[in-house]
Structure formats: structure tokens, C-alpha cells
Structure 1
Amino acid sequence: MPRPRIHDLDRLLDVAEQLVADGGPERFTVRGLAAASGVSNGAIYHAFGSLPVLLGRLWLRAAGDFLDLQVELVDAVHGGDRESAVEAVVAAASAPAVFADRRPAAARMLVTVRRDQLLGPEVPQELAEQMFALDKRLVALLTRLSRALWGRADGASVEVVTLCVVDLPTAVFRRALTEPTTDGRPVIGADSRERLKAAVRAVLTLPPPEALKPRPLMGDMKPGSD
């Protein structure tokens, strides 16, 4: 059985993305994908090998595209000074809303499917390594933003950037990304977007906590020291 061509795989993943966004990963089946796409079960298994691998590829494609967009938005406003560094963090925090405008099904799927749901014995090592490589890319972006803001990239400062770029957008946009809609497109209103930007700027008015100093080892402690 011939393997589907690359553009056919992309179309197949587009259909799978929509199915997972609409019904969640628990209800997603190869049979359902075959019915929705017109591609046979055998061709789907030939292309991906198993359902876990298919879901992993699907998540990687969406997560990679999202991170590419996030970096693109940061690069567009980051000019090297403090003010542009703040706006770069605001841009990174706004990325989920921009991604939802461009790729609604992918944005909804990323909220619905957690990566830890995909990692298991059936996922090949290569796929797991690609997922962890995305983690490293995200950490590199957070570190870059932290250095641009404060000239440091310790755990405490990166945690503040993470609050702005990950935690706040998740809290503000999650309802819009998970609520049912008539056409499958999440509605993230202008008010929510502006309030997120205001919240991020407010968080960044405070400096990060001081970096925690490593505790001395017993051998390094001098007699009489506390």
C-alpha cells in the first residue's frame, strides 16, 4: 500500500486536528479519521504506524507552529531596550489569541491535549525527543526575554516571565478556547486581549525576586558559621 504524499499527510493532519479539537483525544479513532478524511484505515496506519504516533505528530506540528509564531511576534517588537523588552513579553503572551485567529482547531487542540497524555511506551524515542526539544526552545525564549528585561536568567526571573507568557494567557484565554462554538472558531474578544496585555505590563512593573543563593555544602562551612 503506497504511503500518502506529504501534502496528503498535511491534509490528513488538518482533519485529525479538527476531530481532536471537537471531540478530545479520548474520542479520536483511526476509523473516525478515515471516515472524515476519505483515507483508508490501512493508509493511515501505513503513514503513522499507530494511533499514539499519529497523535504525537499532530501535537508536535501544532506546538511547533505555535512556538514559531511566538518567536515571530517577539522578534517583531524586540528592539533591545527595556520598553521593547516589555512589549516583547506582551507579544509572547498574546500569541495564543493570534494563533487562535490563524489556526483555530490547532489552538483548541493544544488546550485540550496535554503532552503527558501522549508520552507512553508506544511513542517512539525519536518522537519523545522532538517533544523535549520543543521544551528547550520554549525555555530558550523565556530565558531570552528574562535577560532582555533584567539582564539575568536565573530561576526566579524566568519564573516571572513564565507567569506572563504561560500562566496568565492560559487563565485568560482558556474558557474561550474550550467553549463550544457554532463554527469551531474560538471567540477571544478584544477586551480579554487588552486586559491580558495590561496584566502582563503590571506584573513587569515589579522586579523579580532576588536569585536564591545555593546553600553551602557541609564541607564548605567554616567553624563558628551559622
Structure 2
Amino acid sequence: MGRPPRHDADKLLDAAVAIVAESGPRAVTMAAVARAAGAPSGSVYHRFPDQPALLAALWLRTVRRFRAGLFEVLESGPPREVAVAAARHVVEWSRRNTAEARVLLAGSSAFGESEWTQQARDELRRVNEEMFTAMAEVARGMGTCGELGFGRFSLAVVDMPIAVVRRNLTRGDEIPEHEVVVVVEAVRDLLANGQGR
């Protein structure tokens, strides 16, 4: 039985995440990942044929990791509590995974989405649609209707938690634990005030 590869895809992607956290998406090159991982360039090219493939893999792995916890939250409980838990997940996951949160905050376009293969773009679209569908189901379960209702729901459950994460990480700060409480209380208030709209 052969030895496991010293520089597998996950280790190389971990190095890419660290580069993003330190220097931003533009700094993620094949050579930079090889240096950060202590790997020969050939190991990077063996796992990823080119930079767009590396960047697509980095983005998609990060989204899948975030989504795994989100979907656990979305699949149980009364809709209003699920909505609050979803907002909490955004902040708590970002607190635990600060470097990967920086990847998501940058957005897929910062990772050259237009240059990805069609297969990678299709995967991104599928992941995004699944998340949107799941969140819309929660909103409907709460009786949310109309543009005002869905706008309030999106502000509470998506936009506000992301803004809290962004506010802290763009200052270079860790996300304090009290921000979780702030988001939860604000989401409860927004959703309660918008009941039935």
C-alpha cells in the first residue's frame, strides 16, 4: 500500500486559504500556493491543471463547508427559530473559520469565476440555487410574502449577519462572541416586527 501524498488537494487549498486571509484573493497563484504549502510546483499542477481550477476549487470547497452547517440548521425546528439559527450560523461559523470567512466575503468574482470551467460554474450555480431555495422555504414557512416581507427576511437572515462579519474582519479584528448575541436579538426584532407582511 502506497504512502498518502504529502501535498494533497486539501493541504494545498488550506495554504490558499491562508494566503487569502493574509494578502487577499489576487495573491493566490500556483507558485504562491506551492511556497506556502512547502510543495514543489509540480504537486500543485498535478492537483489543479491551472490557476482558475485552483481558485474554483478553493471557492467551492469553502462554500460547501459553510453550507454543511447551514443546512443542518435549516432542516429542523419552527421556521422563525430556523431563520434566527441561520443568521446565528453565519456569525458563529465565521468566528470559528475566520480565514475561510474572508474567502466568502471576497465573493466568487474575486476568484476569477468567469474563467472557471463550465462544470465549476454549473456547480456554483447549483449550490447557490439550493441555498436560495432552502432559505425561501423558511421564509414561506413563516408566512412571509410580498417584496417588503422577503426584503425584511433577507435583511435579517442574510445581509445583517454578513455585515457584522465584514465589519469585524475588514478591520482585521476577530469576531467577538457578543456579536452573535447582537445578531440574534436584532434578527428576532426584525422578524417579529415584520410578522405577516
Q: In the alignment, is residue 195 of structure 1 matched against residue 182 of structure 2? A: yes
Task: Verify the 8 A CA contact 2:91 2:179 in the aligned structure 1.
Answer: no
2:84 to 90, 93, 108: 90
Corresponding residue SS for 1:189: coil
Q: In the alignment, is residue 104 of structure 1 matched against residue 98 of structure 2? A: yes
* Alignment-derived partner of residue 34 in structure 1: 34
* Alignment-derived partner of residue 131 in structure 2: 138
Q: 1:6 to 1:34 in 2, by over 3 A?
A: closer
Q: In the alignment, is residue 51 of structure 1 matched against residue 63 of structure 2? A: no
Distance 1:89 1:74 in 2: 8
Judging by fraction of residues, say which structure has more helix.
Answer: 2
Per-residue CA deviations over 1:4-58 (Å, capped at 9, x if unaligned) read: 9598111111111111121101122211111111222122123211112211110
Q: In the alignment, is residue 171 of structure 1 matched against residue 171 of structure 2? A: no
Q: Percent of pairs identical after alignment?
A: 31
Letter in structure 1 aligned against 2:73: L
The Cα RMSD (Å) is 2.2
Letter in structure 2 aligned against 1:200: V
Task: Verify the 8 A CA contact 1:143 1:153 in the aligned structure 2.
Answer: no
Which has more radius of gyration?
A: 1
Distance 2:71 2:7 in 1: 25
Distance 1:6 1:90 in 2: 42
Query: Which moved further from structure 2: 194-203 or 42-51?
Result: 42-51
Distance 1:129 1:156 in 2: 31
Task: Verify the 8 A CA contact 1:31 1:41 in the aligned structure 2.
Answer: yes
Letter in structure 2 aligned against 1:142: M
Distance 1:208 1:174 in 2: 30
Distance 1:6 1:147 in 2: 48
Corresponding residue SS for 2:43: helix
- Compute the TM-score of the two structures, normalised by the length of structure 1: 0.76
Alpha-carbon distance, 1:178 to partner:
2.6
Corresponding residue SS for 1:204: helix
* Alignment-derived partner of residue 21 in structure 1: 21
Letter in structure 2 aligned against 1:63: V
Letter in structure 1 aligned against 2:18: Q
Letter in structure 1 aligned against 2:133: A
Distance 1:42 1:100 in 2: 32
Task: Verify the 8 A CA contact 2:73 2:85 in the aligned structure 1.
Answer: yes
Task: Verify the 8 A CA contact 2:69 2:89 in the aligned structure 1.
Answer: yes
